[in-house]
Structure 1
Amino acid sequence: MAAAIPTTEGTIPFDAPNAGKAAETWYKIVGSLDSPSPPLIALHGGPGAGHGYLASLTDLNKKYNIPIIFYDQVGCGKSTHFREKMGDTSFWTFELFYAELDNLVDSLQLREKGFYLLGQSWGGVLAGAYASGTSAVGLKKLVIASGPASIPLYVKGCQQLLSQLPEDVRKVIEDCDRRGDHESPEFEKAAAVFYGRHVCRLDPYPHDVASAFVNLKDDPTSYLTIQGPSEFVIIGSIRDWEGWQDAHKIKVETLLLNGRYDEVTDISMEPWFRHIPRVRWVTLENSSHMGHYEDRERYMEVAGRFLSGTAPE
């Protein structure tokens, strides 16, 4: 019988800028930080989706002995919530999440040994932006998984995907959009068709993936403020973001991942590829936005070999 993987959970006090109250970040370490490999910090999407839907990344510990550090970003899951900050764009900023990530790295004393970073969806946006900045001391390698380099290009890609939906579904979405109705059962049913094609093509959703939607429904504060009412209606503070403009400042080796059917289409990933100096891009042929479940074995092989430095087969 295989030995159980050591797992540690805890919370870290976090002095969130302009919070008005004490906060803390919940984290979980799968594996041992004493491993020869630098740990991989997983940045979840949403914002507000929570860490749970990235649980399959533990495969990287089992096969490549890479310790995995999960955490819930403030505003969701087991970390401090700020429901009172709905619509407060001065609070929900990139700087808030940089500060939280830096606080985690410093509290776990990872700077000297170094660490890897994998961000998925919004987490990929955050990871790319963080790696472009000056505080990413100790970062060894970066994985941007289905995280767009440009929100305007992401929206353009979504519009192309929406145009390919069945006419009756498309008309419901367009009609609801004109009326600003993004909460009715009609809109949710039509949006589910898009999600089933371009967010997760597994039916039913794996339990871990479903947990992300539970988190977002429980507390949509950060999602609605930063993004908007759905995956393809972007009216929040991030709507004009162009992360590729600073991508030339990313100094570490970077792996880009997205799926053939991904809502994060190639046109919104391509600027990362053009501007990051040391970069590789792999598109998973059998997945959409949740490649770490939809094409799990291939995803872990590509990410694991990249992070561990082992040659591809």
Structure 2
Amino acid sequence: MHISEGYLPFLGHQTHWRVVEPDEELPGRAPLVLLHGGPGSTHNYFEVLDGLADLDGRRLVMYDQLGCGLSWDDGLAGHDELWRADTWLDEFDALRAGLGLERIHLLGQSWGGMLALMHLLDRGGVGVRSVVLSSTLASASLWGSEGHRRLRYLGADERRTMEETERSGRFDTPEFRAAEARYLELFCAGEPDESSPECLRRPKRTGRESYLAAWGDNELMPSGTLAGFEYAGRLKEVRCPALVVSGTQDLCSPLVAKQLADGIPGARWELFEGCRHACFVEDTPRYLAMLREWLDEND
């Protein structure tokens, strides 16, 4: 495989992109474009899927969304007005135009799946052959209620801390951050160690500013510009083939995933036993095999 990277101008700033090309690109293979989570994560964890390029003879395209990773610059500081859906939708439109991505498959994980749904339903999704909605959601309110339900998996003191903090709105305490870290360890991911892939251990510039403004302080309590994200009633409008992916221990609970799978006509749902929020990291071989089969079926 061959990897190339570069930048595209956007709103006076730059969007960093990364393309993985196979040694032999097979005819008729539309590229797979990957939308990372957050808002404010980076493309890094998607690099565990690089092997799909040679495995399936197709290009992979990933990028750091404005406000994080290599798409951050100091000129973005203090511009909270940018951290709303239209900014990232416009950026994705610019990426498609700049890289000539006319016919694609689309994979969105977590917030990236929300972005994928908005691209399909609000921007038309022209040229999208299929969509993979990985550990994502159609309803911020259901996501929040499922998160609160799962507080029962924490210890009594941690649950009490979460409940008292939500009432007070004072999140920056050691007790709350410890309880939050335990919740994320259970349902999102653990800290990388020396055995983790390099792309997970690599230092990165997360977009905490964009996360706070767009989602809120933490996963359970959406309060930002995306807090009103409610697309469950529009899922029937998705016209391309859709694959829903989630883990049994995922922030995207089985009920959240089921809402997506039931709402999209003809959708398929793959449940990864024992996986948390990044199934492609915790069971990479199965995820690669699943993607190869899905993409080949829908070219």
- 1:281 matched to 2:269? The reply is yes
- 1:100 matched to 2:94? The reply is no
Distance 2:165 2:68 in 1: 28
Aligned to 1:132: 121
1:285-296 aligned within 5 A: 285-296=273-284
- 1:164 matched to 2:129? The reply is no
Match of 1:215, SS? coil
1:192 shift after superposition: 1.2
Q: 2:235 aligns with which of 247, 250, 273?
A: 247
- 1:79 matched to 2:71? The reply is yes
Deviations 1:62-94 (A, max 9, x none): 3222211110111111114422223x3xx3222
1:56 shift after superposition: 1.0
For residue 272 of structure 2, what is the amino acid of its counterpart?
Answer: L
For residue 92 of structure 2, what is the amino acid of its counterpart?
Answer: L
1:137 shift after superposition: 1.3
1:202 shift after superposition: 7.2
Match of 2:180, SS? helix
Moved more, 164-173 or 68-77: 164-173
Aligned to 2:100: 109
Distance 2:105 2:182 in 1: 35
Distance 1:203 1:72, change over 3 A: closer
Q: 2:35 aligns with which of 34, 43, 51?
A: 43
Percent sequence identity is: 28
Deviations 1:21-71 (A, max 9, x none): x12211010115955311111100000101112211213223222211110
1:144·1:256 contact (CA, 8 Å) conserved in 2?
Answer: yes
For residue 63 of structure 1, what is the amino acid of its counterpart?
Answer: L
Distance 2:149 2:212 in 1: 23
For these two proteins, the number of residue pairs brought into alignment is 292
Distance 1:202 1:288 in 2: 13
CA RMSD of aligned residues (A): 2.1
Distance 2:59 2:138 in 1: 27
Distance 1:304 1:265 in 2: 25
Question: Structure 1 stretches of 5 or more lacking a match?
Answer: 17-21
- 1:305 matched to 2:280? The reply is no
1:172 shift after superposition: 2.1
Deviations 1:258-313 (A, max 9, x none): 10011111222222222212310111002010111112211222122111229xxx
Q: Normalization by structure 1: what TM-score?
A: 0.87
Distance 1:108 1:264 in 2: 31
1:139 shift after superposition: 0.8
Distance 2:110 2:283 in 1: 16
1:58-69 aligned within 5 A: 58-69=50-61
1:251·1:278 contact (CA, 8 Å) conserved in 2?
Answer: no
Moved more, 24-33 or 283-292: 24-33
Q: Normalization by structure 2: what TM-score?
A: 0.90
- 1:26 matched to 2:16? The reply is yes
Distance 2:121 2:165 in 1: 38
Aligned to 1:19: none
For residue 21 of structure 2, what is the amino acid of its counterpart?
Answer: G
1:203 shift after superposition: 6.3
Aligned to 1:180: 169
- 1:208 matched to 2:204? The reply is no
- 1:257 matched to 2:253? The reply is no
1:151·1:268 contact (CA, 8 Å) conserved in 2?
Answer: no
For residue 159 of structure 2, what is the amino acid of its counterpart?
Answer: R
Distance 2:68 2:166 in 1: 27
Distance 2:200 2:266 in 1: 31
Match of 2:78, SS? helix
1:98 shift after superposition: 1.4
2:134·2:245 contact (CA, 8 Å) conserved in 1?
Answer: yes
1:138 shift after superposition: 1.1
Moved more, 99-108 or 29-38: 29-38
Aligned to 1:13: 9
Moved more, 94-103 or 169-178: 169-178
